[in-house]
Amino acid sequence: MRLAILYSSVLLCLSSAAHSQLLPEQPVTGVLLPQVTERLERTTQSLAQQKLLQQQQLLDQQRLTEALALKANLADPLTVLPEVLPIVNVQGQVRWTEVRVEQGFRAVEREWLLLVSDTEWQQLQQRWPRLREYTQQQQDLAAIGLLMITLKVPEELDSAAALDREFQQTLTKLAGRNHLYQPQQASTTTTTTVTSLQTHMCQLPVTLGMIDTAIAEALPALTPETERLHISQQHFLPEDIPRSYGHGTAVAGVLAAKHPQITPLLANLHLYSASAFYPSNEFQQSATLAHILSALNWLVSQNVTVVNMSLTGPANPVLAATIQQLAKRDIILVAAAGNGGPAAAPLYPAAYEEVLAVTAVDAQLQLYRWANQGDYVEFAAHGVKVNTLAVSGEVSPQSGTSMATPVVSAAVGCLRAQYPHWSATQIRQHLRLQARDLGEPGQDREFGYGVISAPLKADLQ
C-alpha cells in the first residue's frame, strides 16, 4: 500500500513538471494578446490599403477608358471649335470661314478643289460653262504637273450628293472639299527628367522637307551653320494672315536643334520648311488643303524627295490624287498616324498606302495612349516627353505622333542620302529590317513593323 502511494506521488510530480514545459506560468491574455491584436490590426490596415489602391486603379482605368471612348467618337480633336469660325486678317477683315462638315471634320465654307490637267479643265468647262461662275482661283502646280482649281459653290450645291446631281457624278471624281488639317502634338506637363536622344540618326548630309507651321528660325539653337544646318523657309499663307510658329519649331528642334539638352536627329541637314498653318484660335492651328498642295508643289520644285507631314485630317480625293502623283516620282511622304485614340477612325494622309504612317512610343517602348491604331500604321518612334524647342527658345517636352514622325523622316533621309538610287519600295524594305519588332510578330495595328531609333544601322557612315 505504501509503495502504491509512493508511486502515485512520483507520477503526479512528473506530470506537473511536464506541464510546466508546455504552458506558461502567466495567463495568455497577459502576454500574447496585445501582440496578436496589433498584428491583426496591421494586417487589416494593409488589406484595406490594398483594396483602396485596387479601387483607385480601377477608377483610373475606367476614367481613361471613358476618355478614350469619348475622344474616339470625335472625328478630330478640334471639334471644340465653333460650328462657324471666321478667319480674319490683321486688319480684322474676314478672309475665309471655317465650318464643320461631314464626319465632324472642318473645311473652308463652300470651297471645293479640283486637281486636273489643262485638257481636263477645258473639257469640263465646255461641258458645264457655269463652272466658270464658281471658279475662285486657278493655280498651276507645275512641279506636280496639274492645275488646282478652287470653286466657291452656292449653298444648295455644297455637298457631294448635290454636286453629283448637278454634274452627273463627273465632278466629284475629281473634286474634294478644301478640308482643314491639324498638327498632332500635345504639350507635356511633367516634373520628371526627360531624356533626349543620345546620338544622331546618321552623320551624312541630308535634305528634308516639312509642311508645318512656320519655324522660329532666329532662335540660337536653329541658327544656320556651315555644313551643319541650313533652313530654307517659304510661307504659303496670305501675308496679312497671322502665322503660327510653335509646332513647326518643335519639329525642327527634334530634327536639328543645337542645344545642351537636345541631341538633333541629323548632324548635317538642309531643311526646306513650307509654312502653311494659321491659328484657328489661341491654342489650335489649321492648314487648308489648298495651302498644303501649294507647299508640296514648292517642295517638289526644290528637288526634295522626303517630306515630313506631322499633320492629320480627313480622306480627300484631291489629296489622294496628289500623293499618287508624288509616288510616281518616288517622293516619300512620312506622316503622323494621329492622336485620336486607339478606337479612332484612320486619319490622312498617313492612312494612304503610299505614305509612311508613324505612331509614338515612350522611353519604355509603351504605346502613346492617344495614338491612333490601325492596319495603316507602318512604324513607331519615340514621341512621348520629347525634349524640343518652344518658340521662346526654351526646351519644352512635347508628346504626340507629330514628335515621332521626324524620327522616321530622318531615317528615310539618311537612307536616301546613302543610297540615292534606291526606290521608295527599297527604302521601306530596309526600314523594316531596321525596326525593332514590338507587339505581335510582323506588322500589327499598334506598332506597325516596329520601332525606328537612332542611330541607323547597316553601312551608313
Catalytically active residues, by annotation: 212, 247, 402
C-alpha 348/C-alpha 338 separation (Å) is 8
Residue type, 55: Q
Q: State the DSSP H helix or E strand holding residue 414, giving kind and residue range, or none if neither.
A: helix 401-418
* Contact by Cβ (8 Å): 405, 349: no
**Helix (H, G, I), strand (E, B), or coil: what is residue 432?**
helix
DSSP annotation of 382? E
Concatenated DSSP letters of 307-376: EEE-EEB---HHHHHHHHHHHHTTPEEEEE--SS-TTSPP-BTTTSTTSEEEEEE-TT-PBPTT---STT
* Contact by Cβ (8 Å): 395, 389: yes
**Helix (H, G, I), strand (E, B), or coil: what is residue 140?**
strand
Query: If 0-12 CB within 10 Å is exposed, 13-18 middle and 19+ buried, where does residue 84 land?
Result: exposed
Phi then psi for 357, rounded to 5 degrees? -95, 130
For residue 405, the tally of other CB atoms under 10 A from its CB is 32
User: If we measure between CA atoms, which residue out of 309, 285, 284 comes closest to residue 295?
Assistant: 309
Question: Residue 210: beta bridge partners?
Answer: 273, 308
C-alpha 183/C-alpha 199 separation (Å) is 26
**Helix (H, G, I), strand (E, B), or coil: what is residue 305?**
coil
For strand 278-279 and strand 285-288, is the pairing parallel, antiparallel, or unpaired? Answer: antiparallel
User: If we measure between CA atoms, which residue out of 254, 225, 270 comes closest to residue 401?
Assistant: 254
* Contact by Cβ (8 Å): 342, 368: no
Tracing cell 510530480 back to the chain, one arrives at: 13
Burial 288-310 (b: 16+ CB within 10 A, else e): bbbbbbbbbbbbbeeebbbbbbb
User: If we measure between CA atoms, which residue out of 364, 392, 396, 369 comes closest to residue 254?
Assistant: 396
Tracing cell 513607331 back to the chain, one arrives at: 380
